Amino acid sequence: MPISWQTILAIGAGGFLGAIIRAYSVHFSNKYIPLDIPVGVLIVNIIGSFIIGILFAYFAHITVSESLKAFLTTGFLGALTTYSTFAIESYLLFGTSIYLAITNILLNVFGTIISAGMGYKLIHFLLR
């Protein structure tokens, strides 16, 4: 089944908003939380993972349109979270410090998985 034009527009609109929020979040996080790892990317990845956990659990209990799902997950959260940026920043950190690179990778990978699970479990708990 092809993707409807409404869903394509929803993904684009969500991506537009998610990318703008990511840019501001990363900028301000890095400015006000100066650490040796790229904390702004870490923050948006963890928060985005928590939100996607919430949404997937919510969508399992509540019927919403495919366009709304696509807006929130593929569009907004797809643009908000920054795994391609995470990948290049981690690679570049290896040139500076193996310790910082591994710390960044572990925090992003495990932080986002744990955060997604927490969001998922939270909504299942609240909606039971």
Given the structure tokens 């034009």, which residue do they identify? 5
How far apart are the C-alpha atoms of 16 and 80, rounded to whole Å?
9
pLDDT at residue 84 above 90? no
- Per-residue model confidence as pLDDT tens digits over 19-71: 999 999 999 999 999 999 999 999 999 999 999 999 999 999 999 999 999 99
How far apart are the C-alpha atoms of 37 and 57, rounded to whole Å?
31
In the chain the first and final C-alpha atoms are separated, in Å, by 33
Residues in the chain: 128
pLDDT at residue 1 above 80? no
Report pLDDT for 96. 95
Arithmetic mean of pLDDT, 71-83: 93
How far apart are the C-alpha atoms of 70 and 65, rounded to whole Å?
9
- Per-residue model confidence as pLDDT tens digits over 100-126: 999 999 999 999 999 999 999 999 999
In the chain, what are the domain boundaries? Answer: 5-126
Report pLDDT for 111. 95
Positive or negative: CA dihedral 51, 52, 53, 59:
positive
Q: What is the pTM of this model?
A: 0.84
Report pLDDT for 8. 97
Dihedral angle, C-alpha 72, 30, 82, 114, nearest 10 °: -80
Report pLDDT for 107. 96
